[in-house]
Amino acid sequence: MSNSLDNFAARLSTQLHESLDAAPIADVPWVAARPSVGARARGRRRGAWMRAMMLAAAAAVIAVVVVAQPSSRHASPPVTPGRPQALTVLATAAVGGTTPASLAAGGGWVFAGLWDSGQLLRLDPTTLHTTATLQIGTAGSGPLSIAYGNGAVWVLNFDDGRLWRVDPATMTASLKVQLPAQPSQVAVGDGAVWVTVCCTSSDTSTRQRLLRINPETGAITGMRAVAGDGETVPLALGPEVVVTSQNGPILVIDPNTMDVVSALPDVCTGCDETAGLVAGPEGLYVTSLSSVARYDPHSGRLLATSPAMSVVGMPLSVQSDGIWIAAGDRLLRLDPSSLAVTAQAPVAVTGHLVELPHSIYVSFGGAIDRLGSTN
């Protein structure tokens, strides 16, 4: 940052403190502020409290309906179709730092990229014990995004601006590819490594690009400009390569020619940031204002919309058993077709998530959890 902006930032900080510290904040005692008491005392709609009450009311309605069924006509026990399966924490790894780890799974391991320590960890998928460590960058600037594919772990190193290919057995780097701009996201599929980049250290203007990289040689074999103006450039691999950027269309890319097959405009009208994006056999999944939507990647037709939820955005993942998303303070699994909620777990602030059979791995600041069903 230039000196003039540094000086401006110092003045701005002072002005913000003067303005916000002068705001007339009422002193509400803790007891009165607790949700149940506060909601009644102040007579306002309280988001979390009201949601809990609405859920309780919905449960009561369901109970009434079940009780009202003529029992003699149904010998089988009552069922509650669509009731979400509850998940529990089966193992936890304390990994330090405050930034959620990037996660990848493959080759029988789970891998974690730790931004705060600049390390790549290889973890036992059951116990989450660390079985090997590789220093990728420096503390506070290292593995930005990781992926597993072609028998290797692929790491975007923000510190040196390179893509690293890491042998998962020896945890040593076997290839380093210099990238033309600041890395954003990496994915592996269709016989290539796909990387999105944006900006340089001296230029934060909007020049997002999608790169196709040969996994054996590291040669950049294709490049496609991505419209938009976000520094984070989400990338998703499914039947197609899909990429987008803030305020830009979602581009469906032919992996061979890198031509744009289709473009979905305005899928997140009103969003001020890049949508969460994944691709699966049943379509493209995009986070919108307060839900997840499924689109046909070729026609752009809206196929399904999830129930309303507090969408965080990026922690969205397509897996064999459904679509996973961090929504507010819950981790939800959605049916890939209807987008109905089929499983959930309470989480704090979720960073990244990845799945192996029977387990899903979630990163938080300082920890990684393995979640699963106990039954």
Give the nearer residue to other proteins in terms of CB position, either 262 or 306. 306
Strands 250-253, 241-243: parallel, antiparallel or unpaired by DSSP?
antiparallel
Per DSSP, the three-state class of 289 is coil
Minimal distance in Å, beta carbon 69 to other proteins?
32
Position among 5, 58, 169, 219 found at the interface with other proteins (CB under 8 A):
5
One character per residue 309-348, x = contact with other proteins (rule: CB under 8 A): -x-xxxx------------xx----------------xxx
Only segment of 58-66, 118-126, 267-275, 332-340 that touches other proteins (CB under 8 A)? 267-275
Give the nearer residue to other proteins in terms of CB position, either 89 or 261. 89
Cα 111 to Cα 1, 13, 18, 122: the distances in Å are 34, 39, 45, 5
Q: Which candidate, 95, 91, 102, places its Cα nearest to that of 154?
A: 102
The first and second tokens of residue 326, run together, are: 């961090």
Residues, the chain, total?
375
Minimal distance in Å, beta carbon 156 to other proteins?
10
81/364 Cα distance (integer angstroms):
32
273/229 Cα distance (integer angstroms):
9
- Residue 365 engages other proteins in binding (rule: CB under 8 A): yes
Q: Which residue reads 């809206």 in tokens?
A: 302
DSSP single-letter state for residue 173? E
- Residue 26 engages other proteins in binding (rule: CB under 8 A): yes
- Residue 33 engages other proteins in binding (rule: CB under 8 A): yes
3/82 Cα distance (integer angstroms):
58
Element containing residue 52 per DSSP (H, E): helix 47-68
- Residue 355 engages other proteins in binding (rule: CB under 8 A): no
One character per residue 246-265, x = contact with other proteins (rule: CB under 8 A): --------------------
- Residue 182 engages other proteins in binding (rule: CB under 8 A): yes
Residues 157 and 136: beta-carbon distance below 8 Å: yes
Say how many residues touch other proteins, by CB under 8 A: 69
The first and second tokens of residue 120, run together, are: 């790549």
Position among 65, 135, 289, 299 found at the interface with other proteins (CB under 8 A):
289
The first and second tokens of residue 2, run together, are: 């230039």
Judged by CB under 8 A, the chain residues 97 through 126 that form the site for other proteins are 98-100, 115-116
Element containing residue 30 per DSSP (H, E): helix 30-33
What are the residues binding other proteins (CB under 8 A)?
1, 4-5, 8-9, 12-13, 15-21, 23-26, 28, 30, 33-35, 38, 44, 46-49, 52, 98-100, 115-116, 140-141, 144, 158, 182, 184, 199, 204, 231-232, 269-273, 289-290, 310, 312-315, 328-329, 346-351, 364-367
